[in-house]
Amino acid sequence: MAAVHRVEVRPRSGHRDVRGESVARQATTLGIPAPREARHASVYLLEGELSAADVERIARELLADPVTQVASVVRAGAPARGPLDAIVEVHPLPGVTDPAAESVEGAVRALFGLDVRVRTGDRYDLAGIDAEAARTLGARALANPVIHGIHLEPWHPTSFPAGHARELRIVEVPLRTLSDAELERLSREAHLFLSLEEMRAIQAEYRRLGREPREIELETLAQTWSEHCVHKTLKSTVRYREANLAPGQRALAGPALSGRPGHEVAPDGTVTIANLLKRTVAAATHELIDPSRPDHVDWCLSVFVDNSGVIAFDDAHAVCFKCETHNRPSAIEPYGGAATGIGGCIRDIMGTGLGAKPIAATDIFCVAPLSGTEVPAGCLPPGRILRQVVAGVRDYGNRMGIPTLNGGVWFDPRYVGNPLVFCGVVGVMPRSMVKGQVHAGDRIVAIGGRTGRDGIHGATFSSAEVEHGTASEFSHAVQIGNAITEKKALDAMLAARDQPDGPLYRGATDCGAGGFSSAVGEMGKDVGAVVHLERAPVKYAGLTPTEVWISEAQERMVLAVPAAKLGRLRAVCDAHGVEFCELGEFGSPDRTIHLLWNGTEVGSLDTHFLHEGVPMPTREAVWDAAWSASQQPAAGDGHGVGPRLLDTCCTLLSHPNLASKAWIIRQYDHEVQGASVVKPLVGVGEGGPSDGAVVHPVPGSPRALAIANGLATGWSADPYAMTLAAIDECVRNLVCVGADPARIAILDNFCWPSCDDPRNMGALVRAAEACLDGALAYRTPFISGKDSLKNQFRTQDGRTIMIPPTLLVSGFGIVEDAARACTMDLKRAGSVLVLVGMTGARMGGSHRAMLGACAHRDMRLPDVDPARGARTAKAVAACIAGGYVLSAHDLSEGGLLPAVAEMCFAGGLGASVDLSRVPVAAGGEVDDECRAFAEDPHRYVLEVDAASLGRVESILDGIAHAVIGHVDDSSALEVVGTSTARERAPIDRLQSAWNAPTGG
Amino acid sequence: MATGPRALVITAAGINCDLELAHAFAAAGAVPEAVHLNELVREPSRIDRYRLVGLPGGFSFGDDIAAGRIMGALMRRSVYPALAAAIDRGVPMICPCNGFQIAVQAGLLPGPDLGMPWPAVAAAPTVALAQNSGGSFRDAWTRVEIPADTRCIWTQGIELDDATGLLPSAHGEGRLVADDSLLDRLDANGQVAVRYHPDDHFNGSMRRIAGICDPSGLVFGLMPHPERYTRWTQHPRWTRLSAHQRSGEPLGLRMFRNAVERTLVAS
């Protein structure tokens, strides 16, 4: 008779209890009562027909380390009290992925030949706090009630919950006769999140078919038509007008855009844009790659159509890049949300063409300030979100063996309810593998993880606005990943791809949002498919056909496999211990997707209606600059400003947006695969922030790849300027580490508050138009993109907190010779500092302005001139490629002085800077504070050997630049201004400021 | 046609440093071949074909339960005798990071007492690689020291300087723990192969030990990753190194050279 056996593993006496020791620290960080002492034990519950000797052996030989740990087998009915004052025990809830349990089950089978079911947990014995405080500690620090059960005594169930097979029920959803109000109610109550127009379109389709839809069909339509999958806002027709344009802002309504393809200007100035995405972001790419133009970009291999964008690396290899967000899950369960975010993005790379190998990751997070943020009910505190998100990326990325090489964190109070988690992954593949092709008759093969109820409604959920009650209502949409399952699938896929006679499959895609429904739906778009849903390997019994079809269980890939190669593919999967399932066959006579359950048809979907049927209503967009300005967070009270410029510089270096992220970076393996050439921290003691990463994708080739991001959320008062600034920053970051600006491709990631509000839609139009203008000016094609457009939070008292419009521009570019890559740390006393680019009087959007005390200043955003930015990037890149530059750094957050300060402490060298030499723009008085801290785009600081200065100056001919100082070995930064006295600060002080973020 | 000694690189679920390990072997003149543990379990005699063995880093089986535990337990029951026989034949074996954690679990390190043969059944673990004293995973390049008296054939005869005598580490469970009597014996036998520099001792290992070897000096386990330091552009501050400093071979590559040369002398 199967019983549940309980084993506890704890440190042997005299050995450290590192996890126990961390408990008090975590409690103190959260400001909740901390235990005087905490002891940790790992708990294993084993269900199976085991003898006492079996359990002893498993405990001793597998679960405990004989040197440092001791295992004890605990009988059922043992005393519930522990040795200290209280106990908290944490276990994953039933149905939540428990990777450690899966590993133990496999190991027990392999080592002892025994079948067990396992659940793991953590026990904490606590001294100095009572049960109530222990529960608080459990819920807020040690567990997340969304995915964990929290027990105040040892948990020892008599059996584990198990699913039961259910009888097949085909559920029809009568909607042909529903009224509009009833359609809307159905959409809401069934969590379809479809608009009335979309519900009507479905109603019309089923009236045409003369039957009611089945549940599985309706769910598939909801998934496929979700914002997450179909980008229906960005692809809609938009009517854009400007209610209110601030001085200096680019007019886009009226004649400004007439003549732009797809843009129609009405006499009243309103611009109608049919398919915004196609006419802006994609239009730029298609113009750049148009082969009829003599100077066209000829190195884009696949844009927008696949799971990632692909460019040529060299004659034999291609590189691809995808960046995704995982915002909603990360708000509710930050650890699992971030981990499955990066896991999903990795699968996008695996599912590009015939499969690329992931070689680098980048992660950008946007969260509320860690201190001083008022946290509404229903939100997790930002500090916990950030720590857990970092842990999620760490545990998944490190386990997959993918170096996380670049990233950033942006703090703004408006991210409190909707933190943003951007995960980007770069891959490499042979050029011959860039495109797959599904043929009718190919088998549908699923490999990797099993299917459970995980993440059901993830895609529709991510298209909903979050409310204070959402966490509990949607907890089933939140998941925990198992990186090793994905790693095994990756290993098997690459082995199957790299067979001597060619790949064992003809097409590949990942199961992301929508699960099988979107993977098979997408691959079978042109040929149809027949799917036997009962064949899918499941985590537990009792799943309905609909659940199998739409589950978003992680770590699954779908392959299109010629029948003749099925056996060999199965053998490769077996060799890697990867689950393999033939789900059905691509191709059906009527291009329809037929869903079967043990031979009975449970649903059928017309691929044309599925993919083309979604109505695209016209959306109203209004740019209202005054409203946008009113949405900006209040500036500080001037605390930390002055009296001297270098005091302000230290305050800025401690600003959480600028300050060191070493505590995050050090948790990521940025060395795995042995290919990182420029790492995230550079210079003496690796104490400086690199602008970008450089990685060697192809062993033996001198050519390398630079990876960087641009984000200019400080400029969100005008998303047009913000977008150009973000593109410029991304390009500058890439150029500074050695990329060729003629070989840079970029990605867009829009995270926006709800575009049902025409003002947010207006902001989106401005950003999209800037993508077109920016990409054309820099000649940087967008190759892939993503959007998340409902990022706002409704509080219990009815307030809506909208995130600032946020556009992340990720980019990668070719570095001709890795040995010529450049870093930002000063290298040599005696060299000169050249400032490239123009500085103006406008301080809007700068970090200096965020500090406050700017009443007398011009608070408009600085001028952005992408043509000038592109010329500047090209010239700076020529200086670096010529070998004339010892170090290069772009000027972004904080402006000139913080940038020079970073170069100083990263190089362990001093410098003197004369602000009177800074090239300034005409119009308005550019005083020392502007020169020191303005955040004009298109600017760089280059360290140049005095002997090379002539060459550099001739390359920079026609571009504003000046020698503003020199490098010395004084260990101090010295600044003299136009009107301020000479000041000095030791580089240790600057570094200490940078190492100690305030409020972040 | 490659002609160097053949090097076996063992892969398994969750192993993820096999590529850089293979590259390091190749850079040192060996001919690496990656083979999945499942194949070796099915046919342990395959190990007899190789003159070098590498057990790479990663998160084998998720490092669930503890780092290296499950893979170590599987290996002690399957390929341990074939590996012990290979070592007896003089095959050098390197086990960086997760490889080290696996090797101590599999009874391959610290090996039998000096002068004693490998036991027929893998010995119980006597060295643990416990959670870092800082409590979490850490990626860092650190300065290291090589004891002058080490018998480790991988690190013998290597001189270090401050700017280039570094190795990269990236692990959460690397704090070496063992009985004092065992540590005394490792010290006395020259089985300490590499130590962290006193200023860079981030994981709290006893006696600053970063890596050890068996009494033959052939089996080398260490938490840092020498295989990720075989080209100068991998050095974290290579853009600051002078041409003179970059004139020789990086520390990691010198270790692999030592082992490859050993196989050439032995043949």
What pLDDT, on the 0 to 100 scale, is given for residue A924?
Answer: 78
**pLDDT at A26 > cutoff 90:** no
Q: Once rounded to an integer, what is the mean pLDDT over residues A144-156? A: 91
Round the average pLDDT of chain A to a whole number and report it.
93
Residue type, A129: I
Alpha helix ranges (H) inside A551-707: 566-575, 607-612, 625-630, 645-654, 662-665
Distance of CA A553 to the CA centre of its chain: 19
Q: Once rounded to an integer, what is the mean pLDDT over residues A750-763? A: 96
Nearest-Cα residue of chain A relative to residue B38: A575
Whether B140 contacts chain A with CB within 8 A: yes
**pLDDT at B155 > cutoff 70:** yes
Q: Residues of A with CB below 8 A from B176's CB?
A: none
Q: Once rounded to an integer, what is the mean pLDDT over residues A536-564? A: 92
Task: Given the residues A326, A532, A594, A966, select the one marked as catalytic.
Answer: A326
Find residues 91-110 of chain A whose CB sits inside 8 Å of chain B: 99-100, 102-104, 106-107, 110
What pLDDT, on the 0 to 100 scale, is given for residue A471?
Answer: 47
**pLDDT at A612 > cutoff 60:** yes
Neighbours of A978 (CB within 10 A): 15
Instruction: Name the minimum distance, in Å, from the CA of B180 to any CA of chain A.
Output: 12
pLDDT tens sequence across B235-250: 999 999 999 999 899 9
**pLDDT at A988 > cutoff 60:** yes
**pLDDT at A478 > cutoff 80:** no
Residues A494/A357, Cβ–Cβ less than 8 Å: yes
What pLDDT, on the 0 to 100 scale, is given for residue A464?
Answer: 57
Task: Given the residues B97, B152, B173, B213, select the one marked as catalytic.
Answer: B97
Subunit contact B62:A668, Cβ cutoff 8 A: no
Residues A325/A228, Cβ–Cβ less than 8 Å: no
DSSP string over chain B: ---S-EEEEEE-TTB--HHHHHHHHHHTT-EEEEEEHHHHHH-GGGGGG-SEEE---B-GGGG-SSTTHHHHHHHHTTTHHHHHHHHHTT--EEEETHHHHHHHHTT-SS-SPTTPPPPSSPPPP-EEEE--TTSS-EEEEEEEE--TT---TTTTT----TTT-EEEEEESS-EEEE-HHHHHHHHHHT-EEEEE-GGG--S--GGGEEEEE-TTS-EEEESS-GGG-SSGGGSTTGGG--TTTTSS--HHHHHHHHHHHHHHHH-
Whether A823 contacts chain B with CB within 8 A: yes
What pLDDT, on the 0 to 100 scale, is given for residue A455?
Answer: 72
Q: Residues of B with CB below 8 A from A100's CB?
A: 62, 64-65
Lowest-confidence segment of A262-271, A459-468, A861-870, A901-910 by average pLDDT: A459-468
Nearest-Cα residue of chain B relative to residue A401: B16
Subunit contact B138:A99, Cβ cutoff 8 A: no
Nearest-Cα residue of chain B relative to residue A107: B70
Greatest pairwise CA separation for chain B in angstroms: 51
Instruction: Name the minimum distance, in Å, from the CA of A365 to any CA of chain B.
Output: 20
Subunit contact B13:A488, Cβ cutoff 8 A: yes
Q: Once rounded to an integer, what is the mean pLDDT over residues A937-960? A: 97
Q: Identify which of A16, A398, A821 has the shortest CB distance to residue B137.
A: A398
What pLDDT, on the 0 to 100 scale, is given for residue A460?
Answer: 55
Find residues 132-191 of chain A whose CB sits inside 8 Å of chain B: none
pLDDT tens sequence across A779-809: 999 999 999 999 999 999 999 999 999 999 9
What pLDDT, on the 0 to 100 scale, is given for residue A254?
Answer: 87
Instruction: Name the minimum distance, in Å, from the CA of A439 to any CA of chain B.
Output: 32
Tokens of A596: 């079967």
Find residues 577-606 of chain A whose CB sits inside 8 Å of chain B: 577
**pLDDT at A466 > cutoff 70:** no
pLDDT tens sequence across A566-582: 999 999 999 999 999 99
What pLDDT, on the 0 to 100 scale, is given for residue A998?
Answer: 85
What pLDDT, on the 0 to 100 scale, is given for residue A452?
Answer: 85
Instruction: Name the minimum distance, in Å, from the CA of A845 to any CA of chain B.
Output: 34
Q: Identify which of A99, A674, A684 has the shortest CB distance to residue B227.
A: A674
Using pLDDT thresholds of 50, 70 and 90, give the confidence band for residue A472.
very low
Distance of CA A875 to the CA centre of its chain: 32
**pLDDT at A474 > cutoff 60:** no
Q: How far from A361 is each of A126, A397, A740, B233, CA to CA, in Å?
A: 39, 8, 21, 19
B171 catalytically annotated: no
Subunit contact A484:B234, Cβ cutoff 8 A: no
- A207 or A169: which leads in pLDDT: A207
Tell me the count of A-B CB pairs closer than 8 A.
176
pLDDT tens sequence across B24-71: 999 999 999 999 999 999 999 999 999 999 999 999 999 999 999 999
**pLDDT at A550 > cutoff 50:** yes
**pLDDT at A325 > cutoff 50:** yes
Residues B31, B20: Cα–Cα separation, whole Å: 13
Find residues 825-884 of chain A whose CB sits inside 8 Å of chain B: 825, 827
pLDDT tens sequence across A482-532: 999 999 999 999 999 999 999 999 999 999 888 999 899 989 999 999 999
**pLDDT at A324 > cutoff 50:** yes
Residues B89, B84: Cα–Cα separation, whole Å: 9
**pLDDT at A463 > cutoff 70:** no
Subunit contact A106:B126, Cβ cutoff 8 A: no
pLDDT tens sequence across A47-99: 999 999 999 999 999 999 999 999 999 988 888 788 999 999 999 988 788 99
**pLDDT at A169 > cutoff 90:** no
Subunit contact A825:B16, Cβ cutoff 8 A: no
Lowest-confidence segment of A155-164, A262-271, B132-141, B158-167 by average pLDDT: A155-164
Lowest-confidence segment of A750-754, B1-5, B192-196 by average pLDDT: B1-5
Round the average pLDDT of chain B to a whole number and report it.
96
Residue type, A722: M
Subunit contact B64:A100, Cβ cutoff 8 A: yes
Q: Once rounded to an integer, what is the mean pLDDT over residues A835-864? A: 95
B97 catalytically annotated: yes
**pLDDT at A340 > cutoff 60:** yes
User: Residue A559: which H helix or E strand, with range?
Assistant: strand A556-561
Residues A591, A589: Cα–Cα separation, whole Å: 6
Q: Once rounded to an integer, what is the mean pLDDT over residues A759-774? A: 97
What pLDDT, on the 0 to 100 scale, is given for residue A329?
Answer: 87
Using pLDDT thresholds of 50, 70 and 90, give the confidence band for residue B267.
low
**pLDDT at B169 > cutoff 50:** yes
Distance of CA A722 to the CA centre of its chain: 20
Task: Given the residues B20, B152, B171, B225, select the one marked as catalytic.
Answer: B225
Tokens of A295: 């100077």
Residues 6+ apart with CB under 8 A from B181: none
DSSP string over A216-266: HHHHHHHHHTSHHHH-TTTTSEEEEEEEE--TTPPP-SGGGGTTSTTEEE-
Q: Once rounded to an integer, what is the mean pLDDT over residues B243-266? A: 93
B23 catalytically annotated: no
pLDDT tens sequence across B64-114: 999 999 999 999 999 999 999 999 999 999 999 999 999 999 999 999 999
Q: Identify which of B11, B125, B227 has the shortest CB distance to residue A65.
A: B125
Task: Given the residues B95, B152, B213, B227, select the one marked as catalytic.
Answer: B227
Subunit contact B17:A677, Cβ cutoff 8 A: no
% of chain A beyond a pLDDT of 70: 97
**Model-level pTM?**
0.96
Whether A576 contacts chain B with CB within 8 A: yes
Q: Once rounded to an integer, what is the mean pLDDT over residues A613-621? A: 91
Instruction: Name the minimum distance, in Å, from the CA of B234 to any CA of chain A.
Output: 6
What pLDDT, on the 0 to 100 scale, is given for residue A467?
Answer: 58
Alpha helix ranges (H) inside A355-406: 382-400
